[in-house]
Structure 1
Amino acid sequence: MIALNTSPSLHQRANEYFLNENYIQAANLYEQAISANPEIKSNYWHLGLIFLLQEQEVEAQTTWFMAMMEGEAEQVNVWNAELLEILETEAERQEKLEKYDVCEKIRQNIRQIAPDNIHNLLHLIHLYIKLETYTEETLSELNIFEIINATTKTDINLEILGKTIGSVLHYTQLYPSTIEFFESCSLHFTENPQALMNIFIAAAVDIAYSRQQPKIAVQLCEIYLRLDNNNPGVLGHLASFYQNSADYELGIETAKTFYSLVERLPEKIFANRQILRGLMSAGGQWQESYSVNQRQQDLLAELIAANPQDLTPMDVSILLNSNYFAFYIEDNIAKNRSVQKKILQICQENHNIYAQAQVEKYAQGHLERKKQRISQKKLKIGYISHCFKSHSVGWLARWLLQYHDRDKFEINGYFVNSDNVSDLLHQWYINQMDKVFKSYNVWSLAEEIYQDEIDILIDLDSITLDITCEVMTFKPAPVQVTWLGWDASGSPSIDYFIADPYVLSESAQEHYQEKIWRLPQTYIAVDGFEVNVPKVRRDELDIPGDAVVYFSGQRGFKRHPDITRLQLKIIKEVPNSYFLIKGLADEESTQKFFAQIAAEEDVDYARLRFLPDAPTEGVHRANLDIADIVLDTYPYNGATTTLETLWMCIPMVTRVGEQFAARNSYTMMMNAGISEGIAWTDEEYVEWGIRLGKDAALRQEIAWKLRQSRKTSPLWNGKQFAREMEKAYEQMWQNYTTTCVTTEQV
């Protein structure tokens, strides 16, 4: 508050009244001051402000206008500046008090006095977002684009501008005006593009993955690259955004540019992985994929030999899933798991160096809790994932959450994503948890888990998400388990990996860092799937009603040339058969890939059909009914797709291998009581495919067995599965609590 030109006691009393929101008494003092000294204009400014705070906006504006009406232009400008300073100070005070509606009213009056005040407009944008009154038209109503484009770089506070960009990107990502706003603001960062990168890149990642809008993320990156066209950090993300937008060619090209710009070994490994990701996602570009993967293996071997101990947190983050695609290229459990373990060991060792204080704090905290041996009524189970939404893992994990015994277990969810109010499954998961915590920050997630005193932390992502994997390296819970989302990560911070008698062979333990914990029957069970109305018909696909229809629905990087060749051998040998192919990949590349192998195997390309993605999961499942036989992929089987196939009572053929990913369909078929279609060699795969295609009676028998399995199979008993998982949790906790404390200290 500006001092009254009266006695100090009067000034003090006015301030006290004002701060205590006794506006009537404060107004009386200002009116006295105006009567005594009408030439002191600041008293009018304060009196008008008091009227404004009492929602007497007309009186406020009249008070200010009357004080200025006799002034010359130069004087009025000075008075306006004084008034604006008072209003700005009070707006800041009200915002600190979190009285955003009051603050917004003050700033609207500032806008009337100074409509081109860019900083006031930026503050208003913040307030609209906080008050949830921001709309698609807000920026144009504020005339923000014209004003910000007319503002010189020296006249704008980049800190305020950056904060506003961050807010708009976070809360209003999907508005078209957001892109225009970002583009206009970016021009003010030409001399400091890194500051802009620090603001927008996290939002771009959120937009691309959690919001599933990679094309918007692409636009943001392309705007930024006009300022800094060879920024490796942005190019690395942009490669993924292009690939997720199905712009595979640009994704691969950008990844190759990224690779050419980096020199450090961890960055080379990440950049090469981005190239491989693009090639594999596109599908059909297998020869180059083999070459790039060999280079990846050479780079990883170089890293393992060097065994660096000075990696940065960013290095660790990009190395965690650097060997991801090896499991799609080759079914070699000894080789793939060995590399995986060694990479994760290096990551863990470096993490323990730069995060030493937090890692030691957690370890000591676990030890103290263990020494106290406090008996708890409930075990505290934490689930961490980015898949608590409409995602394969989300559809499968829900049954365990639904059937958890809440008298024995307290369930917390650690969501590595932002709110997605339009996703009903996301909201369902929120309702299932005793507590939900959401963040992208690995340090915050780890600290929250530790402070919540989670007993057993279940990782649903493994290395499919670097954030989740890195949280696990902190060891924020005393017992940590990987389940469902992928094969085991190989991290030394993980105690157990959930399997069953089939999905890993008896000798698999020698290849795993984690202790394999085998459930008695199956490592996954569901009660079933929602099925909608189908959207495909044979006549619309120009397929005869009496034809034998084979189906394969997998992403491009699961369509290994070797298994595709076997599939087409089957088509060739079964008269009047057709092959339906569905899955996210580059359409042109995929069709060229199949055409080449069809020509080599002397299969009429006209017998192949390529289906687009279904609009919903329920429609996708209903569409499966068009198929007579489903042909599984190898060396990486289906998982959710296999369960959906079996639920729809469709016979399938799978090739069983060594690694976890090559045995998913095997365990699911065995747990559904089906052995027909399980092949242990390439020859058996073709034989089963031909036999099922030619023997309609056998297909009917399998379909009947699958339908009957719904009544008794452990695969379709989510409640029983929940009890088995809970028993495993209790045994894991007992193992931990009964381990001698002195042994741990040694």
Structure 2
Amino acid sequence: MNPQWQEQAQQYWDKGDYTQAASLYEQAIAQEPDRLAHYWHLGLLLVLQGQEAEAQATWFMAIAESAPEEIEAHTLQLVQVLHQEAERQAYQENYAVAWAIRQHIRELIPDNFNNLLLLVQLAVKLENYSGEDLETLGILEQLRSLPKIEVNSDLLLHVLGQVLDFAPLDPLSLEFVEACLPFATSPQDYSNLLLVTALEANYGLKRPKLAMRYAELSLKLDPDHSEALTQLASFYQNAGEYEKGIATAKLCYERSQNRLEQIFANHLVMRGLMNAGGYWDEALEWLGKLEDSLQAIVSEYPLNLISVQALRLINAAFFFPYLRDEAEGNRLLQNQLAQLFQDNVQTYAAEPAQRYAQRHQLWRSQRRENKRPLRLGYISHCFCQHSVGWLARWLLNHHDRDRVELYGYFISYKAIDDPIQEWYVNQFTEARKFKGETLEIAEQIFQDEIDILIELDSVTLDVTCEVMALKPAPIQVTWLGWDASGVPAIDYYIADPYVLPESASTYYREKIWRLPQTYVAVDGFEVAVPTWRREDFELEEDAIVYFSAQRGYKRHRETTRLQLQILKQVPNSYFAVKGLADETSVKRFFLELAAEEGISPDRFRFLPGVPSEPIHRANLNIADVVLDTYPYNGATTTLETLWMGIPLVTRVGDEFSSRNSYTMLVNAGVTEGIAWTDEEYVEWGVRLGLDPSLRQLVTWKLLRSRQTAPLWNGKRFAREMENAYEQMWQRYCEG
């Protein structure tokens, strides 16, 4: 043959002309029948043409001619040829072809562990991987075998990372992790990978119990991994294992190396105590420590924070409004923390922040000439089955698409079945989905040329605050999700005539934009068939049932005392308690206070959770009167109570959090149950318990309000929000 035939064959091969290349190798075999490499390449070319059986026949014909002592060496030569081509095909992203080649390697050497790992890698690339592949390929069996096999640790780590990214929820993924641990030659790398997986399981997939397992394994590899320990404290708390969560948070506090670490660990301890409920005195003790630390960090005013440090600072004062109704003092501290937070964000992310500010000036002049509809961006991690998600949908539903363009920015978009989330996706002209990458989110908002950016998270999500601090939109607004964050880059805070007192403008950093009637409105709620009957809880038909359904951190000790005073004064009355918290500590909390008030424990009913919000709403009819919490009122729970026509008693304070139920009652046309003092709270509770005609009147008013009240008119609310946005934009354009 022409001495250049191999070069020519390679050219055909590289071009994908496998038929011509195969023809040349057939000619080579005819002239050099003893040269095995020709058979290896010809068979491989047949594989590339889909002729699997012919390929195997070609290889085995050559191997069969080998002497017994040469078979192993010749097989390894063939495997090397196949491996090189599989690598080339994978590099060119021809994953199906690479996978087929590696299956042939597996048939030749079934226990080639690296090849098995690469098969898993290719299955992930092809998106047809399942955890069962780990068993059918024998990977788990080999990893668990004794004596231990030799493993390419870097490859194992890489494949493990791909598996965890693709299928973190698969039970065999966790088994894969445990089987890999003895081969972790770089424990810190493995530990970091497991922590990343744990974070995704908790925040992205809402599986805190699984996140716990990954974090525990991370710490098993690296016991000194402070971040893994910190996150584990949160995972325990999210999973309802409050005692473990509190103990782990306290361990983080003991190990703190500086004031910032101490502040966040203190916040974690508070989070555990408040979520569990029933740890009142201890919560107050830790609140005092936290306040001292926060005042100290504000005085020091460090401007060299990295992102994770700044993020943990912005929501450090989260629990203050739950424990004390001191609007001006709480706002002052939050504003100071927010200023420090923003100064650091705009230091470590100076380039985008400055670029956005410069471009906004140009936008203003351009938009005066371009009369397109206002482009609104809504950003949140709550566009799903969440309190904010249930409430915000009516505004999105009624927005006038000829008047505004809607862009949605989904933080921690969840890869789970959530019909509300998918509903939101369909409401936006563009729905942008993120895992939580601040700079990427801000840049997308900037590139979308959003006129007004509305955030629904406030300090409930630090990433949202970081995006807002970069100011990617010329006008930025906080609405609905919580009290204002105090971040200086946010221009307006949406309120109404009632939810904030007139004096609030003196201590809010944001300009308070008061809508004419209400700051939130819904058209109603889905209600299912109730699953509770009074007889299920040994409650007589003529009993008066007071009800409270709140998370543990809303249960203020002094407000609970007021509730028990009501119970004490109303014969044949019971207190039904429901809400996310530690069952043991909450029962202890209520029953210890009841003993102090001389109330029998028989008058309490601690109710279980239910499968869905519509069932929860239907079951509210078990109650005669709902007793609101203070200083942090209900919000969604209050709206649900009023929609179901149940009288509610609320104590009004000075903060946004202590005036939510007040504005909702007023906007439903009801004044009965609104208390301005502790004494009035007890009086209203007793009156509504003793007077059935008063309860009937309130119920009649609430049911009638469905057709008339601002609270239940989402369409009118949308027009008022649009008017506000247009006025904000006009003011901006006028400078």
Which TM-score band (shorter chain)?
Answer: over 0.9
Contact 1:421 1:427 (C-alpha < 8 Å) held by counterparts:
no
Match of 2:486 in 1: 490
Contact 1:186 1:224 (C-alpha < 8 Å) held by counterparts:
no
Match of 1:267 in 2: 261
Secondary structure (helix, strand or coil) at the match of 1:676 reads: coil
C-alpha distance in 1, partners of 2:609/2:305? 41
Contact 2:190 2:221 (C-alpha < 8 Å) held by counterparts:
no
- 616-625 or 198-207, which deviates more: 198-207
Secondary structure (helix, strand or coil) at the match of 2:707 reads: helix
The change in CA–CA distance for 1:384 and 1:116 in structure 2 (over 3 A counts) is: farther
Q: What letter corresponds to residue 59 of structure 1 in structure 2?
A: E
Q: CA deviation at 1:597?
A: 0.5
Match of 2:361 in 1: 367
Q: CA deviation at 1:164?
A: 2.4
The change in CA–CA distance for 1:432 and 1:193 in structure 2 (over 3 A counts) is: same
C-alpha distance in 1, partners of 2:363/2:92? 40
Match of 1:194 in 2: 188
Match of 1:742 in 2: none
Q: CA deviation at 1:556?
A: 0.3
Match of 1:640 in 2: 636
C-alpha distance in 2, partners of 1:267/1:153? 41
Contact 2:456 2:479 (C-alpha < 8 Å) held by counterparts:
yes
The change in CA–CA distance for 1:23 and 1:709 in structure 2 (over 3 A counts) is: same
C-alpha distance in 1, partners of 2:505/2:331? 11
Contact 1:532 1:621 (C-alpha < 8 Å) held by counterparts:
yes
The change in CA–CA distance for 1:515 and 1:55 in structure 2 (over 3 A counts) is: same
Q: What letter corresponds to residue 467 of structure 1 in structure 2?
A: V
For the pair 1:57 / 2:52, whether they are aligned, the reply is yes
Match of 2:524 in 1: 528
Q: Give me the TM-score of the superposition, normalised by structure 2.
A: 0.97
Secondary structure (helix, strand or coil) at the match of 1:646 reads: helix
Secondary structure (helix, strand or coil) at the match of 1:454 reads: coil
Between the two proteins, the alignment pairs up a number of residues equal to 733
Q: What letter corresponds to residue 156 of structure 2 in structure 1?
A: L
Q: CA deviation at 1:6?
A: 5.9
Runs of 4+ in structure 1 over 4 Å off: 150-155
The change in CA–CA distance for 1:471 and 1:159 in structure 2 (over 3 A counts) is: farther
For the pair 1:218 / 2:212, whether they are aligned, the reply is yes
Structural mapping, 1:436-475, within 5 Å: 436-439=431-434, 440-475=436-471
For the pair 1:402 / 2:366, whether they are aligned, the reply is no
C-alpha distance in 2, partners of 1:726/1:86? 67
For the pair 1:620 / 2:619, whether they are aligned, the reply is no
For the pair 1:174 / 2:185, whether they are aligned, the reply is no
- 82-91 or 672-681, which deviates more: 82-91
Q: CA deviation at 1:596?
A: 0.6
C-alpha distance in 2, partners of 1:148/1:411? 51
For the pair 1:27 / 2:22, whether they are aligned, the reply is yes
- 458-467 or 680-689, which deviates more: 458-467
Q: CA deviation at 1:93?
A: 3.1
Q: CA deviation at 1:196?
A: 1.8
Q: CA deviation at 1:376?
A: 4.1
Contact 2:545 2:574 (C-alpha < 8 Å) held by counterparts:
yes
Structural mapping, 1:629-708, within 5 Å: 629-708=625-704
The change in CA–CA distance for 1:717 and 1:138 in structure 2 (over 3 A counts) is: same
C-alpha distance in 2, partners of 1:547/1:206? 47
C-alpha distance in 1, partners of 2:77/2:447? 49
Match of 1:714 in 2: 710
Secondary structure (helix, strand or coil) at the match of 1:268 reads: helix
The change in CA–CA distance for 1:408 and 1:13 in structure 2 (over 3 A counts) is: farther
Residue identity (%) = 52
Match of 1:239 in 2: 233
C-alpha distance in 2, partners of 1:530/1:25? 67
- 644-653 or 509-518, which deviates more: 509-518
Q: CA deviation at 1:185?
A: 1.9
Match of 2:417 in 1: 422
The change in CA–CA distance for 1:158 and 1:418 in structure 2 (over 3 A counts) is: farther
The change in CA–CA distance for 1:437 and 1:159 in structure 2 (over 3 A counts) is: farther
Structural mapping, 1:445-594, within 5 Å: 445-594=441-590
Q: CA deviation at 1:77?
A: 3.6
Match of 1:599 in 2: 595
C-alpha distance in 1, partners of 2:413/2:196? 12
Q: CA deviation at 1:74?
A: 5.8
C-alpha distance in 1, partners of 2:417/2:100? 32
Q: CA deviation at 1:53?
A: 1.8
Match of 2:272 in 1: 278
Q: CA deviation at 1:193?
A: 2.5
Contact 2:188 2:221 (C-alpha < 8 Å) held by counterparts:
no
The change in CA–CA distance for 1:118 and 1:551 in structure 2 (over 3 A counts) is: same
C-alpha distance in 2, partners of 1:442/1:153? 43
Q: Deviations over 1:589-631 (max 9, x none)?
A: 0000001110111111101000111111110000001101000
Match of 1:723 in 2: 719
Q: Deviations over 1:392-433 (max 9, x none)?
A: 111111111111222222222211123434111111111222
Match of 1:142 in 2: 137
C-alpha distance in 2, partners of 1:469/1:49? 56
Q: CA deviation at 1:648?
A: 0.3
Q: CA deviation at 1:192?
A: 2.6
C-alpha distance in 2, partners of 1:727/1:47? 74
- Aligned residue among 11, 21, 44 for 2:6: 11
Secondary structure (helix, strand or coil) at the match of 1:340 reads: helix
Q: What letter corresponds to residue 48 of structure 2 in structure 1?
A: L
Q: CA deviation at 1:151?
A: 9.5
Secondary structure (helix, strand or coil) at the match of 2:703 reads: helix
For the pair 1:37 / 2:28, whether they are aligned, the reply is no
Contact 1:206 1:418 (C-alpha < 8 Å) held by counterparts:
no
Contact 2:192 2:218 (C-alpha < 8 Å) held by counterparts:
no
The change in CA–CA distance for 1:77 and 1:277 in structure 2 (over 3 A counts) is: same
Match of 2:407 in 1: 412
Contact 1:624 1:648 (C-alpha < 8 Å) held by counterparts:
yes
Q: Give me the TM-score of the superposition, normalised by structure 1.
A: 0.95
C-alpha distance in 1, partners of 2:76/2:377? 56
Q: CA deviation at 1:127?
A: 2.7
The change in CA–CA distance for 1:350 and 1:686 in structure 2 (over 3 A counts) is: same
Structural mapping, 1:341-380, within 5 Å: 341-373=335-367, 374-380=369-375
Q: What letter corresponds to residue 64 of structure 1 in structure 2?
A: W
Contact 2:197 2:214 (C-alpha < 8 Å) held by counterparts:
no
Q: CA deviation at 1:249?
A: 0.6
Q: CA deviation at 1:638?
A: 0.5
Q: What letter corresponds to residue 677 of structure 2 in structure 1?
A: T
C-alpha distance in 2, partners of 1:494/1:519? 18
Q: Deviations over 1:54-111 (max 9, x none)?
A: 2211111222222222334664444333333333333333334333322222222222
Match of 2:605 in 1: 609
The change in CA–CA distance for 1:158 and 1:484 in structure 2 (over 3 A counts) is: farther
For the pair 1:433 / 2:433, whether they are aligned, the reply is no
Contact 1:472 1:494 (C-alpha < 8 Å) held by counterparts:
yes
Residue ranges of structure 1 left out of the alignment (5+ in a row): 740-746
C-alpha distance in 1, partners of 2:311/2:271? 17
C-alpha distance in 2, partners of 1:445/1:78? 55
- 686-695 or 51-60, which deviates more: 51-60
The change in CA–CA distance for 1:443 and 1:618 in structure 2 (over 3 A counts) is: same
Contact 2:202 2:208 (C-alpha < 8 Å) held by counterparts:
yes
Contact 1:550 1:631 (C-alpha < 8 Å) held by counterparts:
yes
Q: CA deviation at 1:183?
A: 1.3
- 116-125 or 214-223, which deviates more: 116-125
Residue ranges of structure 2 left out of the alignment (5+ in a row): none
The change in CA–CA distance for 1:94 and 1:598 in structure 2 (over 3 A counts) is: same
Match of 2:202 in 1: 208
The change in CA–CA distance for 1:133 and 1:585 in structure 2 (over 3 A counts) is: same
C-alpha distance in 1, partners of 2:118/2:399? 46
The change in CA–CA distance for 1:70 and 1:638 in structure 2 (over 3 A counts) is: same
